[in-house]
Amino acid sequence: MSASERSSSSLVRRPNVLTGALLTGVRSIDMQHSELFELIEAFESAHAAGDLATAVGTLLPHLEAYVVFHFSEEEQLMSSLVNEASYIQMHLAQHQSFKDSLQRICAGFNVKDDEVIVEELTALLRSWLTQHIATTDMSLGQKLLAQGSHKLWK
Ligand SMILES: [Fe+2]
Ligand SMILES: [Fe+2]
């Protein structure tokens, strides 16, 4: 590989792991969703390898922080929507409910068996996120693009 090939390949982002059914069409949102699933996988792998220090001590706090960041990014984008007050209210409520569940489960790491919590956590993360992205976030992407948010591609 030449130097120029190396330098250009280093600029290429990791391939998006999401399938078409989970792609909203808004690049920033899709990249963040991809990152979320990668963090979930890293968490599951570290836990499966028995590396609780990494899984619970490092990856989980990072995952929680990234969820908060991602939700606030979407909420910022949806605040630009016109005549969508009830949709925005519903979307915000779903985000808040998920953050509450995540916080409750994570707080349980101090008092419950890790295996039980990890199962509860990964089930919540994977099923909730997949469902939320496929429905509520997909609508957000459609609404943003329909209202002329072409800047989102930059
Ligand atoms: Fe969302
Ligand atoms: Fe999302």
Ligand 2 centroid, distance to 1 Cα (angstroms)? 37
Ligand 1 centroid, distance to 139 Cα (angstroms)? 9
Cα gap 34→23, rounded to integer Å: 9
Q: Which ligand is nearest to the CA of 26?
A: 2
**pLDDT tens digit sequence for 116-147:** 878 888 888 889 999 999 999 999 999 999 98
Ligand 2 centroid, distance to 72 Cα (angstroms)? 10
Give the CATH superfamily of 25-147. Hemerythrin-like (1.20.120.50)
Mean pLDDT of 26-42: 92
Ligand 2 centroid, distance to 66 Cα (angstroms)? 11
Mean pLDDT of 94-105: 92
Q: 127 exposed, middle or buried (CB, 10 Å; 0-12, 13-18, 19+)?
A: exposed
CB 121 within 8 A of CB 136: no
Ligand 2 centroid, distance to 54 Cα (angstroms)? 25
Ligand 1 centroid, distance to 46 Cα (angstroms)? 26
Query: Comparing 110 with 64, which gets the higher pLDDT?
Result: 64
pLDDT at 53: 84
Ligand 1 centroid, distance to 50 Cα (angstroms)? 31
Q: Which ligand is nearest to the CA of 95?
A: 1
pLDDT at 138: 95
Q: 24 exposed, middle or buried (CB, 10 Å; 0-12, 13-18, 19+)?
A: buried
Mean pLDDT of 7-36: 73
Whether the model pTM is above 0.85: no
